[in-house]
Structure 1
Amino acid sequence: MPLPTVNVGVVQATPALFDLAKSVDRVVDWIQKGAEQGCQLLLFPESFIPCYPRGLRFDAVVGRRTEAGRAVWLDYWTNSIETESTEIDRIREAVRQAGIMVALGVTEREPIGGSLYCTLLYFGPDGRLLGKHRKLKPTGLERYLWAESDGRTLVSFDTELGRIGGLICWENYIPLARTALYQKGVQIYLAPTADARPSWQSTMQHIALEGRCFVLAANQFVRKSDYPDRYQAELADEPEIMSPGGSVIVSPMGEVLAGPLWNTEGLLTAELDFSVLAKSKLDFDVVGHYARPDVFQFHVVNQPDTQRVREGE
């Protein structure tokens, strides 16, 4: 059984765009802040390292690639992170010192081949990298930047804090991807994103109600002036606030526990009461008494078993 209550935090912050080393510095700083605020679990936004490259075109035209676009790609690729690296070692040590679980959105560089993935990394309170989820289906021009994943990274973790898993940004609009997590019994559902539309709040409330789970959603706060000077000309027509945020924490009954946070950096915190989660199953359990296995059959290819992560095991 999970703890009766769990203190969680959602980071809404600005990365050091296109700067791997400085972005890692900011991750370390926010981990320390989360620990100081009593968080037992801390969620960062989608692609916090090295940034979500909102507004950049990578000079993409159907049927043609250019040297200008390859130069932007190289900049992004160079500042993306590998899971076996000194940068990850720094983050692991910061997590270990803080003694909390951390879920960190990154653009991950595959060392063999060099493809990029939009990835959510999971760190245990001892600093171990427990596993990762790679985005199944990048959206729109994201497909030009990020490779696709498969069921092998639809991960979930059975921890002292409860069962934890999540999806990235518009993966949350894939009903069967959500169902794959619900079937694992996810109680704390993580949704790092780059979507700052007000309608995203409805999506997060829907998932909380549908999955009868706590939902943590994290987005970046980014201004045009945060981009390096070399990209200012391309972004000339963009508004100064390019991502206003909208991070939020929602209960299994769809009630907003913290946020949404707009137009600033900040750390949202909430105490999750697991008795609320249990009571929410009285009238709806999407994989329990509200399921119809006699009518619907569902199978996920290569989804791993839930990993048990408990102290002393």
Structure 2
Amino acid sequence: MVQFKTVKVGVVQATPALFDLEASVELVIRWIEKAAQAGCRLLLFPESFIPCYPRGLTFDAIVGRRTDKSRDLWLDYWANSLEETSPYVQKIGEAVKKAGLFMALGVTERDPIGGTLHCALFYFGKDGTFLGKHRKLKPTGLERYIWGESDGRTLVSFSTDLGRIGGLICWENYMPLARTALYQQGIDLYLAPTADSRDSWQATMQHIALEGRCFVLASNQFVRKADYPERYQPDLVNEPDIMSRGGSVIISPLGEMLAGPLWNQEGLLTAELDFATLAKSKLDFDCVGHYARNDVFKLEVVGQPPIQNI
């Protein structure tokens, strides 16, 4: 008889050290340690936890014109973003290895060739190895001013002893074909780091769990206006005191809330995932199996790499 495993997972909802790369890395390491103490085998951080999601800042964006103010703010954000080969990534990897867990970390990544920034999800194996990354396919709204676009080459997924893992960032999760590109690879653990703290985001996460028949882990930051550096306070006068209230959550393949949503505070959400639920959920719906209708629909994903075996 098949023996179904259980896996304890964790989702971080925390406040980064905004615009401070070194301090943000130290925060990441502390949360990794907390997750290890809690017995987590998989840990997810929010979108752009390093160096922050710059909510509320306009980057002095004016159609057809850039300003010295916008370039100065861009430089600050750029200088505190993370390169894949940075010693900071190695330092984070060492903490992951010590904790012995699989981790996905939301960062703003600086491309060493040319210097473009990308909203990215960095993956680490439990031995601390940097496994790969997903870059956001389509930044939303004014994000397009500060982040570049990606392509199918970073629609990655990983086959691990925990299950098959992959994910999309924030409003990429509203892209049906991007979701399907992951479903087709048999995702068990679907990661959704975000900056969206609306109530409606919970419905989106619940829908994805039910649609993909997968566990969904969604992680957001908790950020107050007072957490921003003093130099940016004048730009935030019209913003609310709580700028991101969180809403991190863990959901089962049948749409049940296993942990969260967590609002208006920092915290580590954890849940024991019973993989028998994955199998049972396929009885009446399997979007890449008996419900797929491959005789009618076909999806070609340009450049998507095969599942990596970890």
Question: Shorter-chain-normalised TM-score: which range?
Answer: over 0.9
Which residue in the other structure is 2:115 paired with? 114
* Matches of 1:3 and 1:13, distance apart in 2: 32
The answer to whether structure 1 residue 98 and structure 2 residue 102 are counterparts is no
Offset at residue 110 of structure 1 (A): 0.4
Q: Is the 8 A contact 1:43 1:192 kept in 2?
A: yes
SS in 1 for 2:280: helix
CA pair 2-216 structure 1, distance change in 2 beyond 3 A: farther
1:2 Cα deviation after fit: 9.5
The superposition leaves residues 79-126 of structure 1 with CA deviations (integer Å, 9 ceiling, x where unpaired) of: 000010111111000001001011000000001100000000000000
Partners in 2 of 1:162 and 1:89 — Cα distance? 25
Gaps of 5+ in 2: none
- Correspondence 1:112-151 to 2 at 5 A: 112-151=113-152
Whether 1:173 and 2:174 are equivalent positions in the alignment is: yes
In the aligned structure 1, how far is the partner of 2:155 from the partner of 2:70? Answer: 32
1:297 & 1:306 partners in 2: Cα distance? Answer: 19
Partner of 2:80: 79
4+ runs of 1 displaced by more than 4 Å?
none
In structure 1, give the amino acid aligned to 2:179.
Answer: R
Question: How far did residue 31 of structure 1 move?
Answer: 0.2
Q: Counterpart of 2:235? A: 234
Specify the alignment match of 1:30 in structure 2.
Answer: 31
8 Å contact from structure 1 (residues 3, 162) kept in 2 = no
CA distance in 1, matches of 2:18, 2:185: 35
Matches within 5 A, 1:41-80: 41-80=42-81
1: CA distance between counterparts of 2:305 and 2:256?
A: 31
Distance of 1:252 and 1:215 partners within structure 2: 8
CA contact (8 A) 1:189 1:215 kept: yes
Aligned to 1:152: 153
3-state SS, counterpart of residue 261 of structure 1: strand
CA distance in 2, matches of 1:233, 1:298: 48
Give the superposition deviation at 1:297: 1.3
Aligned AA for 2:105?
A: L
- RMSD of Structure 2 on Structure 1 (CA): 0.9
C-alpha contact 2:47 2:194 (8 A) present in aligned 1: yes
Secondary structure at the counterpart of residue 114 of structure 1 = coil
Q: CA deviation at 1:23?
A: 0.1
Alignment check: 8 A CA contact 1:2 1:162 kept: no
| Structure 1 equivalent of residue 261 of structure 2 | 260
For 2:280 and 2:177, the matched residues in 1 are separated by: 25
1:157 partner SS:
strand
Q: Report the secondary structure of 1:244's partner residue.
A: strand
Q: Deviations over 1:174-222 (max 9, x none)?
A: 0000000000000000000000000000000000000000000000000
Say if 1:133 and 1:153, in contact at 8 Å, map to a contact too: yes
Query: What amino acid maps onto 1:128 in structure 2?
Result: T
SS at match of 2:113: coil
Q: CA 1:2–1:260 in structure 2 vs 1: closer, same or farther (change >3 Å)? A: farther
Partner of 2:296: 295
Map of 2:187 onto structure 1: 186
SS of the equivalent of 2:234 reads coil
Which residues of structure 1 form unaligned runs of 5+?
A: none
Matched residue pairs, number? 309
Q: For the residues of structure 1 that align with 2:112 and 2:10, how far apart are their CA atoms?
A: 31
SS at match of 1:202: helix
1:50 aligns to what SS in structure 2?
A: coil
Judge which range, 290-299 or 163-172, deviates more: 290-299
Between the aligned residues of both structures, percent identity stands at 73
